[in-house]
């Protein structure tokens, strides 16, 4: 079975590492981007099934990245899960308007995040830790 492709985007390298460990390199094909501009380029080349996307990043924020991903015919089918320390209802609405499929506030439960990723990718599996 082909591994699902996930692009992890966050300007915090430590969080990118944590997400990589949570997801598992064996389970998913993972790529990482440290900012919004890099994420846009990588998404077009890598064509991920899902993007874990930080909202607050320098230059190009997560809302803008999500809009670009969802408007590009090569990447629009990718599921986008936004991750942010600002989980106000206004921000959630802005995320939905940008095309996000899910919105998680930081800190988040790794188990809940992984379970939601499985649901979004419709792999027919459940998280090993569920």
Domains, the chain, in order of start with CATH, read 5-121 (3.40.50.2300)
Six token digits for residue 117: 């990723």
Q: What is the mean pLDDT of residues 86-95?
A: 85
107: preceding bond cis by omega (within 30 degrees): yes
Entry pTM: 0.90
Q: What are 14-41's pLDDT values in tens digits?
A: 999 999 999 988 889 999 999 999 999 9
Q: Comparing C-alpha atoms, which of 79, 103, 99, 101 is closest to residue 91?
A: 103
Q: What is the mean pLDDT of residues 80-108?
A: 90
- Best-predicted range by mean pLDDT among 15-19, 48-52, 108-112? 48-52
């Amino acid at each position: 079975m082909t591994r699902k492709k996930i692009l992890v985007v966050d300007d915090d390298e430590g969080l990118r590492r944590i997400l990589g460990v949570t997801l598992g390199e064996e389970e998913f094909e993972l790529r990482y981007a440290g900012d919004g501009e890099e994420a846009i380029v990588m998404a077009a080349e890598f064509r991920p099934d899902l993007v874990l996307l930080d909202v607050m990043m320098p230059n190009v924020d997560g809302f803008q990245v999500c809009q670009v991903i969802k408007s590009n015919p090569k990447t629009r089918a990718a599921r986008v899960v936004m991750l942010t320390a600002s989980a106000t209802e206004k921000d959630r609405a802005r995320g939905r308007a940008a095309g996000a499929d899910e919105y998680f506030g930081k800190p988040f439960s790794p188990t809940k995040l992984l379970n939601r990723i499985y649901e979004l990718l419709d792999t027919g599996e459940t998280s090993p830790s569920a």
